[in-house]
Structure 1
Amino acid sequence: MRFIVDQQVEDIEMPENLKLNTFLQEFHSDCTHPECRFGFYGFAFGQSPFPVPRLIQEALIQNVNKGEYAAVPGIPQLRNAISKYNKHYFGIDVAPERIYVGPGTKELIFNLLEILHGTVILPTPAWLGYLPQIRFLKKNFHMLSSRANGKIAPNDLKRLALRLQDRQKILILNNPHNPTGMLYNKSELEEIADVCRELNITVISDEIYAQTTYDFSKFVSMGKIYPEGTFVTNGLSKSHAAGGYRLGYVIFPQHAVDLKAQFKKILATEYTAVSTPIQHAAVAGFEISHEMDEYFKVTRNIHKIMGEYTYNTLTAIDGIKATKPEATFYLLADFNAYAPELQKAKITTSQKLSEALIVHPYHTAIVGGDSLVLERTDFSARIAYVDYDGAKVFDAYQQQTPKTHSERTEFVQNNAPKIVAGLMMLEKFFGVLKRDAVDELMLLKNNLKIPN
């Protein structure tokens, strides 16, 4: 029996995160050196390392008997809790009826792209999950490069949108931003919103990292700035360290009554509803409580400490630049100053750079620029600084909170040794690359008898 795969599926590449995981496993299993046994320094995977909050765990245990199907948009208790959560933390006064629950924001963004007609505007660099979805759905799309600060400029958005013929344009806005760790402030969002109003641009605002904003008072939701045209997505994955729970939500724009009916039809067709016990557990995570406030405070402060150390260590290496994160647990490192040396070493793409770093003796995993919707020859990489035991680090922080710069440095060195060692390996790699280039130049000069 020969089975024929639909051509639409044949044309889709494996998602970059799964491709990366396969690549790392293969390189690790192929290494025969004794030092390979420890694995690798993990700067590649963006998963919060902390334990799922106790309140959520206990609520899940208490609701394991809930075997009935839930309502398609989500159970009323959860939609009410999310409504209050958004008003309390983000200042968005949203009725529960505007909230739909789904199995993660990734799925909900896919569902939104299914029902929204128009051309997608994708700012770059971007999270590696957006482009495969856009291509799978065969949507028209255009890239919009960000400026040096990692943010899109309103004038660039306007110029691009004016060239597009579709009546509706869809901007995917990721704030806080993966992979740069950058945060749009209120005035920047207002300028983008002005362009969107003028040119009928619908916004999908992926705000999954909102609670990781280091100075939380600086976070502003696009749903507050442009409520009539913004779909806000958020969930448990990053803020509550519960990616495996697969629970996200979307807030619909004001007055989108007809659209909600269409969306409900899509959800009911594709997956009926999110797991009922998980929904009941999530209620505890979205309810306002001192315990959850403390959890958010501790985890975002640890992310900030790890980000500060990673940024300072990387930018201290000659020629390396990086975005200074204001949120998330990522930054974007720029290795392009080493492009001549990389080219001489036959490392011609960001994928080849990833391969060169993972092999012995470096054992360092990064996400290269091509996975981030950058040019294949752009030697930039996302660095995720979460390779540590989250439970132990959480406890260590509570027992003795580091306050000074030296205390924070010591905290990282004591509690995140793989981050420290991995950054040293990056420094070693580029040091060797530069030394080899200098040695080659000296050899050339000696052969040609050129004076120094």
Structure 2
Amino acid sequence: MRFIVDQQVEDIELPENLKLNTFLQEFHSDCKHPECNFGFYGFAFGQSPFPVPKLVQEALIKNAHKGEYAAVPGIPELRQAISKYNKHYFSMDIDPQRIYVGPGTKELIFNLLEILHGTVILPTPAWLGYLPQIRFLKKNYHMLPTRANRKISPSDLRKLALRLHDRQKILILNNPHNPTGLLYDMLELEEIADVCREQSITVISDEIYAQTTYDFSKFVSMGKIYPEGTFVTNGLSKSHAAGGYRLGYVIFPQHAVDLKAQFKKILATEYTAVSTPIQNAAVAGFEISNDLNEYFDVTRNIHKIMGDYTYHALTAIEGVKATKPEATFYLLADFNTFAPELQKSKITTSQRLSESLIVHPYHTAIVGGDSLVLERTDYSARIAYVDYDGAQVYENYLNQKPKTTSDRLEFVKSNAPKIVAGIKMIEKFFEQLKQDAVRDLKTKKDSLSVPG
């Protein structure tokens, strides 16, 4: 496959996640009620709550003195460790020369979009970070709305690709998926790969949540299915709860020799290399060990317990639908059943829904559908179920692992009371909305029945 280079740079608008942060701070500071002091029920921010694995912390301390510049693609020890990590966990035999290290997968995806010429295909709903990057680089792009199952339809992908006349088309595939928590299985990936081969579509496969897959045996990398046309990105932020370390990597497709030289030039120009102490700490994070295996096992089990509770509690609210997460720490809640009542209350967009939920007395933060590249009038929202003390919950899980359904329910109630209370606030909001609609209807009927 031939890769075509493109470099366009323009002024960037404020990313959606920063807009959201500013919005929440403003609404919180404006609240005059004493109950506001606790903050809000945090379903908005997607950050793993657990501590960074101790072996990674210790490696960072041990290597803190290393102040020299590292090689642009990454230190050899780290690229070798990532290669072994991918072979062990993802059954991919990757030459370390195909691996480039960067300051987070977000930056690496940006770098790939910088150099790859062509139209970007963005399935929706999508992580809120993709579209700002695409717009910043002034890339041509087309949305690919997913169907009811919230996954890419191969036939829809083919139809869209046939309409695009660029020599190269770039599909952003996020698996496991943020914001739905869904996972593509091997057959689904193979069907997508068939279309990509047929239509010469390059894939950027964002697999940052791979290790959070609840049943890890079900995860398959697109790099294994479509190795000649897939760039795989992954890193420390979600699996190792180390978003602040800003350490990600990209695996290049087979035979992309010329493109690697272009990529290295961009990295060297933009940031020289990733922090040397961080890279050395990451070596420990990508080494195979019993401690790391236990960490992955415990954290993904806790995510699953919290995800199952959140899914069942939300869908128990009459009229609410949701995706059932198979990975990550998100699900997509669908509140569109309440569209008539929301519109009558002058809540005409998903942004207004977010604003209405954050104010007193609800104090509940969500990410609305417009931030997820859905229509502004789509009343869907991403729910992140991580509002708890990760260090304490991790310890409590080890001390007494919940085995039964009732054990898991009690585990959530004891360890994540803000998740429980936040979902009750969402229920309270929609109950009040329905009551207001009934009251308004009664008032209108009464006014019409009064003699003139």
Normalised-by-shorter TM-score class: over 0.9
> Which residue is equivalent to 2:122?
122
CA distance in 2: counterparts of 1:358 and 1:65, whole angstroms:
44
- Structure 1 distance, partners of 2:50, 2:92, is 27
Question: Which stretches in structure 1 are left out of the alignment for 5+ residues?
Answer: 1-6
In structure 1, C-alpha distance between the alignment counterparts of 2:28 and 2:442, rounded to whole Å: 35
Residue 136 of structure 1 is matched in structure 2 by: 136
1:124 to partner: Cα distance: 0.2
Match of 1:112 in 2: 112
Show the counterpart of 1:441. 441
Query: What is the SS of the residue equivalent to 2:127?
Result: coil
Quote the residue 1:421 is aligned against: 421
Whether 1:26 aligns to 2:26 is yes
Aligned with 1:57: secondary structure?
helix
Instruction: Check if 1:145 corresponds to 2:150.
Output: no
- 1:80: Cα distance to partner? 0.3
Question: Any idea what SS the aligned residue of 1:44 has?
Answer: coil
Distance 2:244 2:215 in 1: 27
TM-score by length of 2: 0.97
**Partner residue in 1 for 2:10:** 8
**CA–CA distance in structure 2, aligned partners of residues 384 and 211 of structure 1:** 17
> Hey, what's the Cα distance between the residues in 2 that align with 1:146 and 1:328?
19
Distance 1:170 1:392 in 2: 42
Contact 2:13 2:136 in 1 (8 A): no
What residue is the counterpart of 2:363 in the other structure? 363
Give the residue type in structure 2 aligned to 1:357: L
Matches of 2:110 and 2:431, distance apart in 1: 43
Partner secondary structure for residue 86 of structure 1: helix
Indicate whether 1:390 and 2:390 are aligned: yes
Deviation of 1:245 (Å): 0.1
**Corresponding residue SS for 1:8:** coil
- 1:402 & 1:438 partners in 2: Cα distance? 43
The amino acid that maps onto 2:196 is C
Q: Which amino acid in structure 2 is aligned with residue 130 of structure 1?
A: Y
| Counterpart Cα distance in 2 of 1:109 and 1:238 | 16
Query: Percent of counterpart pairs with the same letter?
Result: 83
| Residue 227, structure 1, aligned to residue 227, structure 2 | yes
- The DSSP-based 3-state class of the residue aligned with 1:50 is coil
User: Helix, strand or coil: the match of 2:70?
Assistant: coil
The residue number in structure 2 matching 1:38 is 38
Note the 1:231-246 alignment, pairs <5 A. 231-246=231-246
The aligned residue for residue 4 of structure 2 is none
Q: d(CA) in 2 for partners of 1:429 and 1:202?
A: 44
Aligned to 2:169: 169
SS in 1 for 2:183: coil
The CA deviation string for residues 46-74 of structure 1, in whole angstroms up to 9 with x for no partner, is 00000000000000000001100000000
What are the Cα deviations for residues 62-106 of structure 1, in whole angstroms up to 9, with x where unaligned?
000110000000000000000000000001110100000000000
For residues 222-257 of structure 1, the C-alpha deviation after alignment (integer angstroms, 9 at most, x for no partner) is 000000000000000000000000000000000000
Q: Which amino acid aligns with 1:134?
A: I
Alpha-carbon distance between aligned partners in 2 of 1:442 and 1:315, rounded to the nearest angstrom: 29
Q: Distance in 1 between matches of 2:435 and 2:310?
A: 24
Work out the CA distance in 2 between the residues paired with 1:21 and 1:200: 39
Partner residue of 1:330? 330
In the alignment, is residue 88 of structure 1 matched against residue 88 of structure 2? yes
What per-residue deviation string (whole Å, max 9, x for no partner) do you get for residues 390-436 of structure 1?
A: 00000011111111111111100000011001000000000000111
Query: How high is the TM-score relative to the length of structure 1?
Result: 0.97
Q: Give the whole-Å Cα distance in 1 for the aligned partners of 2:10 and 2:273.
A: 26
Task: Name the CA distance, whole Å, in 2 between partners of 1:100 and 1:149.
Answer: 34
In the TM superposition, what whole-angstrom CA distance separates every residue of 1:339-381 from its partner, at most 9, and x where no partner exists? 0000011100000000000000000000000000000000000
Which residue type is aligned with residue 345 of structure 2?
A: A
| SS across alignment from 1:332 | strand
SS in 2 for 1:142: strand
Residue 159 of structure 1, CA deviation: 0.1
Secondary structure at the counterpart of residue 120 of structure 1: strand
Tell me which residue corresponds to 2:56.
56
Q: Distance in 1 between matches of 2:396 and 2:192?
A: 41
Q: Deviations over 1:166-221 (max 9, x none)?
A: 01000000000000000000000000000000110000000000000000000000
Number of paired residues?
Answer: 442
Query: What amino acid maps onto 1:34 in structure 2?
Result: P
Please tell me the residue identity of whatever aligns with 1:174: N
Q: Distance in 2 between matches of 1:174 and 1:97?
A: 24
Q: How much has 1:441 moved relative to structure 2?
A: 1.6
The separation in 2 between residues aligned to 1:52 and 1:304, in whole angstroms, is: 19
Alpha-carbon distance between aligned partners in 1 of 2:130 and 2:370, rounded to the nearest angstrom:
13
Amino acid at match of 1:182: L
CA RMSD of superposed structures (Å): 0.9
What is the distance in 1 between the residues matched to 2:290 and 2:345? 54
Displacement of 1:442 in angstroms is 2.1
2: CA distance, partners of 1:439 / 1:173 = 46
State the alpha-carbon separation in 1 of the partners of residues 438 and 30 from structure 2.
31
Q: Which residue of 2 aligns with 1:267?
A: 267
SS in structure 1 opposite 2:294?
A: helix
Match of 1:300 in 2: 300
Letter aligned with residue 254 of structure 1: Q
DSSP-derived class of the 2:74 partner? coil
Deviation of 1:449 after TM superposition, in Å, equals 4.0
Q: 1:147 deviation in Å?
A: 1.3
- The amino acid across from 1:417 in the alignment is P
3-state SS, counterpart of residue 407 of structure 1: helix
Q: Quick check: 2:10–2:138 contact (8 Å CA) kept in 1? A: no
Secondary structure of the residue aligned to 1:274 is coil
Rounded Cα–Cα distance in structure 1 between residues aligned with 2:355 and 2:440: 23
Which residue does 1:65 correspond to in 2?
65
CA distance in 1, matches of 2:437, 2:417: 30
Q: What is the aligned partner in structure 2 of residue 210 from structure 1?
A: 210
Other-structure match for 2:253 = 253
Counterpart in 2 of 1:3?
A: none
